[in-house]
Chain A
Amino acid sequence: MNESQPSPVSRREFVRGGLRVGAVAALGGLGGVMATRSSADDFLWQIDPQKCSQCGHCATDCVLETSAVKCVQNFSICGYCDLCTGYFEAEPIALNTGAENQLCPTGAIIRKFVEDPYFEYTIAEDLCIGCAKCVKGCALFGNGSFHLQIRHDRCVNCNECAISRACPSDAFRRVPRSKPNIERVIAH
């Protein structure tokens, strides 16, 4: 018999080897799952307002009954307009808080007089459904201070966010938990 040839593996040895490989693979898989679960915990879903196209999917595609996406007001770039195109219909009957004049289907925007002719607009998050109608109106004509953000006190941080799959503009991305929001910037 040639000494350089490996000795044939016995059945017992083969079974034992197979079990060993199986055990190591199982451990590896568990490690992989733990590793990704840990990294998922460190990252959250968020919407990039610069990419958002106000398509309306945020209101309809979230796994929650009422979407975790809400409109957010960036006061530092808001124009405090009397005729706020995020608040009013395109041709409002009057510039007042009458429901017939409002763009928001749930009346989630609160209009408050500041001084002539300026008004402050804030969002009642409990009413906001994330439909982006106000965001669209504000972005088209105004400074774009209204923008959508995922509220992390509501979001369940799915592995594969259902809205991100439907998002036509690729606006959803993972952000570190330490920086959970993406601010709307204005290009003046």
Chain B
Amino acid sequence: MKKQIPRRQFFLDTVLATGLLGLGAKASAATPAPSHVEHLDNDLERYRKVDPALIRYVRMSHFTLPRPDARRLTIGKDERLYVAAVNSILIFDTRGNSLGEITTTGQVRCVAIAADGTVFAGVKDHVEVFDTKLKRVATWDAPPGKPLVTGIAVAESDVFVADAGNRIVWRCDRSGKLGRRIGEKDTARNIPGFVVPSPYFDVEIGADGLLRVTNPGRHRVETYTFDGDLEFSFGKPGAGIASFCGCCNPCNIELLPDGRVVTFEKGLPRVKVYSAKGELECVVAAPAWFADPARNPDNNIGGLDGAIDASGRIYVLDMIEGDVQVFAPRKASAS
């Protein structure tokens, strides 16, 4: 008669086999975590260094924003900072103390403040308008095509909307009625057309009554009349300090009261001042002040933006770092 296996032995065998099976599976699947971290030499490292003699601004202060997703920055006549951050506009005083928040219906990409305090927010494909009590008073219809509003400038009776999706600047009245299309390619009028490879496209209004519009794919800042005539432009591609680096820069601009242009770049994050004619005057901040985009895996959201207050201080938003740094002109005695 065949001998039966005792229950105890059967259990012992099963436990042993299961344990071995588990061990075998673990040994085959386990992958040790990477143990060392290293980086290739950054070929652009030499361009991150800026001649100190060119830097004519000093950093006064900085503050960290409560949210890491800030995209644009502007300043109102009331010296309050407005920061566009995903679905809201955060309001701060110049020291970074929170003063309020406006909630938008979608991702806000840019913000502009009219002289009367009205807030215009570019929300994806349309513009939303808020009164001085931060209450929404209007939502404009989206322009035709594939709009992506990335810049707004407000004049007394006109609003200029930089549309990165359609690569034009819309001239609208204060009620949002679309008017002239500015910057559309027109060889007869000697207008080359905007090239906007990534969603950075800005417009500002100068004290001379002319528009300054970035043409990032052509590495230029172009000047237009309100009627869309191209007056002049400046800028050339290159990683050198006088040029605009990478595929598409400057990403944003601001204007000083005397017509000088402050440019903000991404990739090699730097802030520079150009004369009204387009000659490099000085550097506000070198790349060393900002987060290194090479260390940021999601560098699509990188770049700088800024605002200028009445005393000439430049507030620079670092989108990767999520902070605002304040730079003031270096006094003659200090230089």
B148: chain A residues within 8 A (beta carbon): 188
* Beta-carbon contacts under 8 Å, B1-51 to A: 5, 9, 12-14, 16-18, 20-25, 28-29, 31-34, 36-40, 43-44, 47
Q: List the B side residues contacting A50 at CB < 8 Å.
A: 297-298
B29 surroundings in chain A (CB, below 8 A): 36, 39-40
Q: How many residues of A contact B (CB 8 A)?
A: 53
- Asked if B217 and A81 sit within 8 Å, CB to CB, the answer is yes
A21 touches B245 (CB 8 A): no
Closest B residue, CB atoms, query A131: B40
Does B239 lie within 8 Å of A91, measured CB to CB?
A: yes
Q: Which one of A20, A32, A33, A56 lies within 8 Å of B22 (CB-CB)?
A: A32
Stretch at the interface among A67-75, A136-144, A148-156: A136-144
Query: Which chain A residues numbered 141 to 188 have a C-beta less than 8 Å away from chain B?
Result: 141-144, 159-161, 164-170, 186-188
A124 partner residues in chain B, CB cutoff 8 A: none
Establish whether residues A25 and B17, one from each chain, have CB atoms under 8 Å apart when the complex forms: yes
Q: Determine the distance from Cα of A51 to Cα of B295 in the docked complex, in whole angstroms.
A: 10
Which of B38, B40, B218 sits near A117, CB closer than 8 Å? B218
Task: Type the 1/0 row for B115-129, where 1 means its CB is closer than 8 Å to any CB of A.
Answer: 000000000000000
The answer to whether B299 has its CB under 8 Å from any CB of chain A is yes
A117 to B297, CA, bound (A): 28
Whether A168 and B21, one on each chain, are in contact in the complex, defined by CB atoms closer than 8 angstroms, is no
Contacts of B40 in A (CB 8 A): 54-56, 136
At the interface, yes or no: A52 with Cβ under 8 Å from chain B?
yes
Interface contacts (Cβ under 8 Å), in number, total 146
Q: Is the CB of A80 within 8 A of B197?
A: yes
B237 within 8 A of A: yes
Which of B14, B22, B267 sits near A141, CB closer than 8 Å? B267
The closest CB in chain B to the CB of A86 belongs to B247
B25 partner, pick from A24, A32, A91, A170, beta carbons under 8 A? A32
Decide if A85 is an interface residue (CB 8 Å cutoff).
Answer: yes
Q: What 1/0 flags go to B193-234 for Cβ under 8 Å of A?
A: 001011100000000000000000111000000000000000
Main secondary structure of the interface of A (DSSP, over half): loop
Interface size on B, residues (CB 8 A): 54
Q: Is B132 an interface residue (CB 8 A)?
A: no
Residue numbers in B under 8 Å from A91 (CB-CB): 238-240
| A136–B40 alpha-carbon span in the complex (Å) | 10
**Given contacts A21-B16, A91-B240, A141-B267, A83 and B28 within 8 Å (CB-CB):** no
The answer on a CB contact under 8 Å between A140 and B34 is no
In-complex Cβ contact of B16 among A25, A140, A161 (8 A):
A25
Q: A33-B24, A91-B238 are in contact. List 19 more A-B contacts (CB 8 A).
A: A24-B14, A24-B17, A29-B21, A32-B28, A36-B25, A51-B297, A54-B40, A81-B197, A82-B217, A83-B237, A85-B267, A90-B44, A136-B294, A139-B293, A140-B44, A140-B294, A165-B32, A165-B34, A188-B300
Interface residues of chain B, those whose CB is within 8 Å of chain A, are 5, 9, 12-14, 16-18, 20-25, 28-29, 31-34, 36-40, 43-44, 47, 148, 195, 197-199, 217-219, 237-240, 245-249, 266-267, 293-294, 297-301
What are the 9 tightest A-B residue pairs by CB atom distance, in nearest-first order? Answer: A79-B197, A32-B24, A141-B246, A28-B17, A141-B267, A36-B28, A81-B247, A168-B37, A32-B21
For this complex, 6 residue pairs linking A to B, each with C-beta atoms less than 8 Å apart, are A25-B20, A39-B29, A53-B297, A136-B294, A141-B266, A188-B148
